[in-house]
Amino acid sequence: MDLAYRLLNNPVRIEVSTVNSTADTVNQLVHPVDRRRKRELLSYLIGSRNLQQVLVFAKTRQTTEALANELKLDGLAAEAIHGERTQGARNRALEGFKNGTVRVLVATDVAARGLDIPSLDTVFNYELPHQPEDYIHRIGRTGRAGKSGMAISLVSREEESMLTAIETLIDQRLPQEWLAGFEPDLKADIEHHEKRGGRGGEKRRLKHQLLKKAGAKKR
């Protein structure tokens, strides 16, 4: 923007959406879950809800490849796209996703730039992005052209600070839902916070908060 204003005479800026805002057509939800059980929960949600076209975001090439292979073992037709795949391979994976032969497309942020997938109903954040602005870009792949969409984030305790940064950026608290059978390990949560400096009364307060949170379906 600085460069544009230096080079242009009396430029006019036209925005079709507010910066750092999410579309009202996208319903957002967070499922807290232990990191080691994310893939299991993802497969469960896709299968139990009979989702037929799912875009999943991960942070690295290694994760996209590994996750796509694990989903295939779960019986889901999945492909990975990332910056190190050839353009031809990415095009074939995307075409398969659009025509229905690929049910789950696992992508990095780099590979997903500019993706235009009509009628995409569901986007998953398998891992939250380091940059909160990328969250807005990710979930913007659904809920387009006036249609409704769903953006689901699988968040482990290690990603709490990333979730806070995203909520600060978009200026809203994302609803959370603990799913039966996939609840985070409360003991591990307590130990995690304890390693970060929690002691004594703080530990007891944390335990009370976690137990109270576990008793509620949504925050």
Spatial CA neighbour of 63 closest among 106, 97, 123: 106
Confidence class for position 182, pLDDT limits 50, 70, 90:
very high
75-79, 122-126, 145-149 — which is least confidently predicted? 145-149
Count of other CB atoms within 10 angstroms of residue 76: 18
15-29, 69-83, 201-215 — which is least confidently predicted? 201-215
Contact 125, 76 (CB under 8 A): no
Residue 94, pLDDT > 80, answer yes
Which domains are assigned to the chain?
A: 2-184 (3.40.50.300), 185-219 (no CATH)
pTM above 0.85, yes or no: no
Confidence class for position 29, pLDDT limits 50, 70, 90:
very high
